[in-house]
Structure 1
Amino acid sequence: MKASAIAHPIQGLIKYHGLRDERLRLPFHDSISVCTAPLATHTTVEFEQGEDRAEFDGHKASPQEMVRIMAVVDPLRHLAGEKGGMRMISRNNFQSNIGLGASASGFAALALACDEALSLDMPLKEISRYARRGAGSAARAVTGGFSLWHAGVDDESSYSEMVASSKDMDMGILAVIVPAYKITDTAHREVVTSPFFQARLETVNASLEQMLSAISSGDVDLVGELAEKDTLVLHSITMTGSDQMLLWRPETLRIMARVKELRYEGLNCYFSIDTGATVYVNCPLRGMKEVEDGLKDLGLPIMKCQVGDQAKTVSEHLF
């Protein structure tokens, strides 16, 4: 059977950093994200006779990429008792490898499409566990909206759940694009070498509680403040690991400075940066146009986003 699914990428709010189990992609602590629409990955999967094969945005998947793809597909195929090969074609409506969470939406769409094609009919909570094996953040892209990824203690207990939907908070998201290739897995591996990582583990639960409270009360400004603070914590760890990874670019710092200037001028806006150089600017939806106007003279591409929903199956196939 052939099946297709669409999922939105994520912006980390209380971000996850580091894996205590690379094979199962189990994190050190819980994390919270928000899905960013209309950015999306559209994936079609079919199980048929032949070899496993996959294509991203017109390019054949590399051997390394196939390993991660099959980390999602093989357990689902085994669960369904399927013997055929897997064919996958995936398309993004946004650029990948620039800090916009393409791996999250990609593996979320893959897991859901496989579930549908194999007639497994699992709840999203369970599908999030399988998506996690491709990319940790994919678990939260499956459940969508504002989602909490439970770190858990093993494969069964590490899953995502939505804590608020796109209808629960009027939050605008501006993605200011800074092209710079990033390697998330490298950052995850060296996180434990930072002298600041232990402090992160000791304080992150308090940050998670504050973020959940802000989301529950619909407080866009507090969500933005907490995500901005968490950004600085995450990147301080990345910069002080053994590889001293500097993922920001001069443009990144210009955006951060401009956001602070706009806030000083009375606009409620807050920066947030995942593992890359691109900057998200979070703000109340009603003030989004003014914030966008305040960023335009930086001369950088700006993508207007809003809170995205959970991954879903679609009838439009890519082959």
Structure 2
Amino acid sequence: MVDYNNPNLLVTPNKVRSGKIEWRSPSNIALIKYWGKYGQQLPCNPSISFTLDAAYTETTLEYGPKMTDKPGVSVDFLFHNQHNKPFADKIERYLTSLLPIYPFLSQIELTIFSSNSFPHSAGIASSAAAMSALALCLCSLEDELFGTLSDDKQFDQKASYLARLGSGSACRSIYSKAAIWGETQEAQESSDLYAVGWGHHLHPIFATFHDDILIISKEEKGVSSTAGHKLMDDNPYSETRYMTVQGRMKQMLAALKAGDIELFGDILEKEAYSLHGLMMLSNPPYLLLRPGTVSVIEKVHEFRRTNKIPLYFTLDAGPNVHLLYPDLHKEVVQAFIKNELLRYCSEGSYIPDKVGNGPKQL
């Protein structure tokens, strides 16, 4: 069992020098979905995701000596250079929860600037990008103050652990190309406590995959992912889900290793339907899909039948549609998006994305 609690990570306040750390961290798209959790942000089933590239959060963490007598964490948070009290309160609660791991956070002052390359709370795992970027900044801060995280594997594991405490899916964004979170017999070293990188197992065709995100709605979701996970506790179909998902996980990993795009696409779409089916079977039931979502899905099925091109869709916890396909078909698929699908998008907007190489320190 990993235990990062460390009462010895303390600084001498009047000797802390001011500094700045910046990280860019991407979102990720789950292929096998994590839905339902227990304990402190622990998953009820394993998941695997592609790490994205263009959908990211940039976070700047400025730190210096504490100038007030205020107990606990002292942090100023700005989102897109504007104060946002709900976000600021969430960040302060998160940092306070980390005091057993990082007691020095109560000894310094922090200013955090965060910005997204995509709409917040529209089902593109914004919290995954945001909390992974912040976790990476914190691990860099630890290493700068104490020199304790010089080993890259240890750094990534701890960053993934910290990111998980802020947002479950954020732990997967730490790694290049693909990551697994949750214990499974199909992946050595897999853990509920943090994600592990899996990109080195991908067949080369999947490293070329695009994930073009159609923004069906920019409105904030009616039911947050946090509330959605909670509703799984009393969902009459949750146990069936947890029993069957292991089989799908095994099939998905086999497809990703072998380059079996057809099997990949079949499982991918079943997982999308399952996720939103579980939402509709919750108590109370709720629906995050929009008419445009359904229209796009029908168009994708028609396109695949007609053109025999491996274009598949998935959905995250929102109305927006992720279209996944190999780079070989980029021109045809993107022409299809522009000619047939943008009419269903909010203000004709979409994010051309792809499997990416993970976070980057700026």
Q: Same fold (TM over 0.5)?
A: yes
Residue 304 of structure 1: aligned partner: 352
Please state if 1:284 is matched with 2:316.
no
Deviation at 1:202, TM superposition (A): 0.8
CA distance in 2, matches of 1:222, 1:124: 31
Question: Paired residue for 1:256, among 297, 321, 335?
Answer: 297
Question: Paired residue for 1:79, among 80, 102, 106?
Answer: 102
Residue 317 of structure 1: aligned partner: none
CA contact (8 A) 1:9 1:104 kept: yes
CA contact (8 A) 2:181 2:195 kept: yes
Amino acid at match of 1:160: A
Amino acid at match of 1:254: S
Residue 209 of structure 2: aligned partner: 171
Q: Which range is displaced more, 264-273 or 220-229?
A: 220-229
Structure 1: 5+ residue runs without aligned partners?
Answer: 315-319
Please state if 1:90 is matched with 2:90.
no
CA distance in 2, matches of 1:288, 1:14: 24
Query: Residues 241-265 of structure 1, C-alpha deviation per residue, up to 9 Å, x if partnerless?
Result: 0121100000000011011001111
Residue 244 of structure 1: aligned partner: 285
Amino acid at match of 1:173: D
Q: TM-score, normalization: structure 1?
A: 0.90
Matches of residues 7-86 of structure 1 in structure 2 within 5 Å? 7-21=25-39, 24-48=40-64, 49-50=66-67, 51-63=74-86, 65-68=88-91, 70-72=93-95, 75=98, 78-79=101-102, 81-82=104-105, 83-86=107-110
Query: Residues 284-312 of structure 1, C-alpha deviation per residue, up to 9 Å, x if partnerless?
Result: 21112212222332313232111012222
CA contact (8 A) 2:77 2:84 kept: yes
Residue 254 of structure 2: aligned partner: 213
CA distance in 1, matches of 2:298, 2:99: 46
Query: Residues 189-227 of structure 1, C-alpha deviation per residue, up to 9 Å, x if partnerless?
Result: 102322221110110111111111122223344322211
CA distance in 2, matches of 1:18, 1:200: 10
Residue 162 of structure 1: aligned partner: 197
CA distance in 2, matches of 1:65, 1:224: 39
Residue 163 of structure 2: aligned partner: 131
Deviation at 1:96, TM superposition (A): 1.3
Q: Which range is displaced more, 98-107 or 285-294?
A: 285-294
SS in 1 for 2:63: strand
CA distance in 2, matches of 1:231, 1:126: 30
Deviation at 1:129, TM superposition (A): 0.6
> Which of these two proteins has the greater Rg computed from alpha carbons?
2
CA contact (8 A) 2:25 2:58 kept: yes
The structure whose RCO (Cα within 8 Å, separation 6+) is larger is 1
CA contact (8 A) 1:9 1:35 kept: yes
CA contact (8 A) 2:51 2:357 kept: yes
Query: Residues 90-121 of structure 1, C-alpha deviation per residue, up to 9 Å, x if partnerless?
Result: 11111111111111010000000111123242
CA distance in 1, matches of 2:26, 2:121: 15
Please state if 1:147 is matched with 2:173.
no
CA distance in 1, matches of 2:288, 2:134: 28
Amino acid at match of 2:330: M
Q: Which range is displaced more, 44-53 or 160-169?
A: 160-169
CA contact (8 A) 2:42 2:192 kept: no
Q: Which range is displaced more, 210-219 or 91-100?
A: 210-219
Q: How many residues align?
A: 309
SS in 1 for 2:22: strand
Aligned-pair Cα RMSD in Å: 2.2
